[in-house]
Structure 1
Amino acid sequence: MATGTEPSRQRPGGVHSPSRAAITPRHLRTDRWWLAPAGTAAGLLAFIVYSTWRAFANAHYYAAPYVSPFYSPCLAENCETMRGGPNLDLFGSWWGLSPALLILVFPLGFRLTCYYYRKAYYRGFWASPPACAVAEPHTGYTGETRFPLILQNAHRYFFYAAVPVAGILTYDTVLTFRDGHYAWGHMGLGTLLFLVNITLIWAYTLSCHSCRHIMGGRLKHFSAHPVRYRLWSWAGRLNTRHMQLAWASLISVALCDFYVYLLATGTFTDPRIF
């Protein structure tokens, strides 16, 4: 005999729960709202495919004086780097896989847990939600309180790791002012690409929400901390462009790696400016 109410397991959840307004259409938007999440998913997927190929290739990542940002710093003996480059060799000769796998975990973890990238791939891949005013298909929501999404809370610690990596890439950029014989006074097209890349990487890193919070997020009286207030203000201005910097730096780091690949494979010679 029916009890007058359905078992809770049969009740619709999410936006279709009994406590929500009963709207039959999934959404009332008439624009092409799906273009943004589809474009985001396509862009991120393209980078994932490319970076995975390059990370496991273990070849064509060095063309004097340029070293791919995917492979720097070198943490294994089997890594080829320029003379005087950041070869730390912490893992010795026992590491037989691509040395890129030892270092990419830090910038990758920083980007995966980034507040903007969370929004990007939550919408693009998980449809949670796919767009503003478009209901997500999931019946339940736990946020980032359970595994694996609870790991997103490690973003600040990945920021701490991303800063020295950016510093090492800065050193790599300085070394691009040497020629193939390690003599200073060189500047090629690759030098310009590396300069643009490191500028975007630092801008993206310092525009991070965690960086802004570290600078002055817990201060109660800005007047008592003028230096931290100034740093907090600078990080805040950069933070307004965090999305653009995230995409620009993602494209620039892939472009630098691809440029080194073209040079290393002999596809063309680096045009020299002076």
Structure 2
Amino acid sequence: MSAPTDDRRDTSGTGVFSATRAQIPQRTLRTDQWWRSPIITDLGFAAFVIYATVRAFMQNNYYVPDYHYLTPFYSPCFSTGCIPEASHFGQFLPDVWWLPYAALSLPFLLLFRLTCYYYRGAYYRTVWQAPTACAVAEPHAKYTGETRFPLIIQNTHRYFFYIAAIISVINTYDAIIAFQSPSGFGFGLGNVILVVNVVMLWVYTVSCHSCRHVVGGKLKHFSKHPVRYWMWTQVSKLNVRHKLYAWITLGTLMLTDFYVMLVASGTISDLRFIG
């Protein structure tokens, strides 16, 4: 008869902390510079967050009256402190320093990006560290996925997609009415920047996984829905580069705001081609 075995083991840990896994003192056996990618991602996110936060609370140099340039960080401008010409949809928010002029849109845009599938993967590895990189032990003893607070909030992404689409329509309107000058129709470098930014915002929004589900989800037979199948195919092509569009739009947003700020403050003059 074999000797009895003691099966009492600590099963509180999961993943690399499981009692059944090899106990390796090193955090990882990788010899490459695996930490570079998370650091670069963190620096990129930090640069955008710092810039966007500072600009949102500056409450100045956001609109160029002569050419109707409105930075996306202040659109739509609902505060009573907004320049009347920049408020296309009314003014009803109080003018206080701690409330951004576009307070009704910025939080939803932030949540849309925070819950985006690409951004999840990016800050899960960098901020949440689950895990930081392949074959690198994460600091969490347990893994519950997106079933508990705070990560369960990620499931609201589909709703923020609809709001982001509406705001993209507003940004498109801003870009269209900017083709005006004191002499009528006008076209300058600012128009190019505004149009490129809004086009990329649409590409990023439409390439979203939720958009892919909206146009092609809940169908049993694509053959019976050729239009939706075509739309799903086109969105799927964009979805492959969703990560690229996510980073490009962070850059175009900052560039657009920075250019409008320089022109509105009188630091530079807009390069005009017509008008």
TM-score w.r.t. structure 2 length? 0.90
SS of 1:273's partner is strand
| Letter of the structure 2 residue corresponding to residue 254 of structure 1 | M
Partner of 1:141: 143
Partner of 1:49: 50
- Taking the aligned partners of 1:6 and 1:267, their CA distance within structure 2 comes to 72
SS of 2:273's partner is coil
Q: 1:66 to 1:81 in 2, by over 3 A?
A: farther
Runs of 4+ off more than 4 Å: 4-9
* C-alpha contact 2:9 2:19 (8 A) present in aligned 1: no
Query: How far off its partner does 1:75 sit?
Result: 2.0
| Letter of the structure 1 residue corresponding to residue 224 of structure 2 | A
TM-superposition CA deviations, 1:75-95 (whole Å, max 9, x none):
23221253xx65222625x45
SS of 1:101's partner is coil
Instruction: Please tell me whether residue 255 in structure 1 is matched to residue 255 in structure 2.
Output: yes
- Taking the aligned partners of 1:91 and 1:132, their CA distance within structure 2 comes to 49
TM-superposition CA deviations, 1:199-235 (whole Å, max 9, x none):
1100000000000011112211000000110110011
* C-alpha contact 1:178 1:186 (8 A) present in aligned 2: yes
Q: Which runs of 5+ in 2 are unaligned?
A: 1-5
Between the aligned residues of both structures, percent identity stands at: 50
SS of 2:185's partner is coil
TM-score w.r.t. structure 1 length? 0.90
TM-superposition CA deviations, 1:158-203 (whole Å, max 9, x none):
0010011000101111122112x2x432111111111110111000
Q: 1:168 to 1:81 in 2, by over 3 A?
A: farther
Aligned-CA RMSD value: 2.0
Q: Which runs of 5+ in 1 are unaligned?
A: none
Partner of 1:227: 227
Question: What is the aligned length?
Answer: 265
| Letter of the structure 2 residue corresponding to residue 168 of structure 1 | I
Partner of 1:59: 60
- Taking the aligned partners of 1:155 and 1:187, their CA distance within structure 2 comes to 37
- Taking the aligned partners of 1:67 and 1:55, their CA distance within structure 2 comes to 13
TM-superposition CA deviations, 1:46-84 (whole Å, max 9, x none):
1111111011111111113211101111223221253xx
Partner of 1:154: 156
Select between 167-176 and 26-35 the one with higher mean Cα deviation: 26-35
- Taking the aligned partners of 2:228 and 2:184, their CA distance within structure 1 comes to 37
- Taking the aligned partners of 1:184 and 1:27, their CA distance within structure 2 comes to 64
